Chains A and B, each alone.
Chain A
């Protein structure tokens, strides 16, 4: 099962090498520096863990829907709404102790993301409205609504961010436990993200609800025949995906800047789709692929002086395109190997 992703990775590294060559640089030198500066020291590793954290949440948001054969292009919007509410709750209730405020701000984030997911889920379940366009529209609506509140009501004047959250609800950086990470913004959110990935794996593979969601994706008519409520599960799937995306802002807000800021996500809602695809929608795989994409993002920053850092976007895109084509090509090849007789009518 790992053949497809590995070939996709290998080919994307080769394609990246061609891009590096095309601008007159030596790919081996660039890649050596890329790896050396990102994986070669604790600070770099801390940066990778930091960049990987939101991708685990948005990767899950895409993967849970993919499992049910649904498309969630809306992780960006779900994450924006959730993160905004996290920042809002954290900064508004300054007096509350951390053991109340921290869970409250996270629940607010999950609820916001889930609400943003339920809307396209409901429209799909009730009216059959296609979720792709609706989740894209919800991304725009999220941006508009949040920017209205930031510019007119809750934002710090002349900025695009909320006031700082209460010190009681911040998540500590790992450097305060492991001094070796000194200076890098990786924080406790990373472990929360890993735990939630593991939880999602258990949920999808070991619980009745997870089974229903997978059944919906594998064969909806058969699932319906087995009395699995299709519409209800579509809505639940989108709510869970949205809740995951809604937690994605935790890393930036509770663990790094300590406020919500417009544009904080840097497109991680969309990169989550690549993370999920490369992991074949396996939540444990998502931990690994998030780390890979995190390395891609941070590594490309370290080589920015010789190769434009946008190389990472190009490589992410190539991985996506290779994954979907290789799955088809390899899948067809395996099928042909298994059944040499042509089955065409």
Chain B
């Protein structure tokens, strides 16, 4: 039993499952550190998976598909920013609206392009362009990318001027503004970065399955938010939480044939998130101004 778990195949399965959690979770740290709650990530993941599918389908190039995924992710996130930062509307409700929009829009367009609201045609996947093909686990550029990006983003957030400003806007925007930081621009940057990151995750989803299916994000955007919370709003912590979720999920796949409690094992990430949020495993403290639109005269 244990032997079958400690194989390279198991490890690479854990990593593969973690990828679509990791991109949105890493992105979410930037959005929330800047003070914008982005539960639209679920919908952004879905829209970018569809965009990546369409881009790859019409050009035959997965690379162009990734570009489409990033563009769609960034644009949808910008819509969330426009509504919540520029127009100062509620961030949670905007996220819910965008998630609904994503479900409808992807099915609508899927029907128009592929003549089925639930499935696209088959597309090329990433196995066409694996650079490190000979080494298992590292044969996947997306897996390598999450580790590189997590380190880079951790550095940017805590060691650069941009990161300091972004965090100041999420903690105490009035003080940041008095020092000349442009609140709205910083917040927009954080939100668009979260969309771009999620866009890469969406492209991976589509390539991994070689097609688009309706609702294929399947709650991963929400789980990514949970991972970000467990990771205490830090990119490296978020990545670690995503890897933990990946292990839990691969375990449940391994146990599928032997256990009838499979549904309960799959619930572990959700339960752990609630326990962490309640403060039983260290404190989970969001940025002070997270979720609050900045009104100049309200401070």
Q: What is A's interface to B at a CB cutoff of 8 Å?
A: 19, 23, 71, 73, 123, 126-130, 132-134, 136-138, 140-141, 144-145, 147-148, 151-152, 267, 270-271, 273-274, 277, 308-318, 320-321, 324-325, 327-329, 343-345
Contacts and interface: CB of A to CB of B under 8 A. Distances in A.
B47 to A, nearest CB: 12
Q: What interface size band does chain B fall in?
A: 35 or more
DSSP majority for the B interface? helix
B87 A329 contact: yes
Nearest to A132: B92
A240 B261 CA distance: 31
Contacts of A133: 225-226, 229, 273-274, 277
Contacts of B261: 148
Contacts of A126: 278
B100 A270 contact: yes
A311 B108 contact: yes
Given A141-B271, A308-B111, A317 B100 contact: yes
Nearest to B89: A324
A324 B84 CA distance: 9
Contacts of B83: 321, 324-325
A128 B278 CA distance: 7
B108 A140 contact: no
Contact of A273 (B93, B219, B270): B93
11 contacts: A129-B274, A133-B225, A144-B266, A144-B270, A310-B103, A310-B108, A313-B103, A313-B108, A320-B100, A324-B90, A324-B94
Interface string B246-282: 0000000000000011011011001101100111000
A327 B264 CA distance: 42
B291 to A, nearest CB: 8
A140 to B, nearest CB: 5
B97 A141 contact: no
A236 to B, nearest CB: 20
DSSP majority for the A interface? helix
Given A148-B261, A325-B87, 10 more contacts: A19-B108, A133-B229, A148-B263, A267-B103, A308-B117, A314-B101, A321-B97, A324-B90, A325-B89, A327-B89
B108 A314 contact: yes
A328 B222 contact: no
Interface string B213-236: 000000100100110010000000
Nearest to B80: A321
B104 interface: yes
Contacts of B90: 324
Contacts of B88: 328
B1 interface: no
B297 A344 contact: yes
B104 A141 contact: no
7 nearest CB pairs, A to B: A313-B104, A317-B101, A320-B97, A314-B104, A317-B100, A148-B263, A324-B89
B107 interface: yes
Contact of B270 (A123, A128, A137, A148): A137
Contacts of A273: 93, 96
Nearest to A322: B97
Nearest to A147: B263
Contact of A321 (B101, B274, B297): B101
B183 interface: no
A312 B263 CA distance: 32
A243 B267 CA distance: 23
A339 B103 CA distance: 42
B105 A314 contact: yes
Which residue, of B88, B100, B103, B279, has the highest number of chain A Cβ atoms within 10 A? B100
B52 interface: no
B107 A152 contact: no
Contacts of A19: 108
B98 interface: yes
A264 B88 CA distance: 36
A245 to B, nearest CB: 15
A59 to B, nearest CB: 14
Contacts of A73: 39, 92, 96
A145 B92 CA distance: 26
B297 A145 contact: no
B159 interface: no
Contacts of B108: 19, 308, 310-311, 313-314
B153 to A, nearest CB: 21
B93 A317 contact: no
Nearest to B215: A267
Interface string B60-89: 000000000000000000000001000111
B37 interface: yes
Interface in B88-147: 88-90, 92-94, 96-101, 103-105, 107-108, 111-112, 117
B296 interface: yes
Given A123-B277, A310-B104, A136 B117 contact: no
Contacts of B226: 133, 137
Contact of B296 (A71, A277, A318, A344): A344
A315 B108 CA distance: 12
A301 to B, nearest CB: 13
Given A132-B92, A145-B263, A312 B104 contact: yes
Contact of B97 (A147, A310, A317): A317
A315 to B, nearest CB: 8
Contacts of B105: 310, 313-314, 317
A64 to B, nearest CB: 16
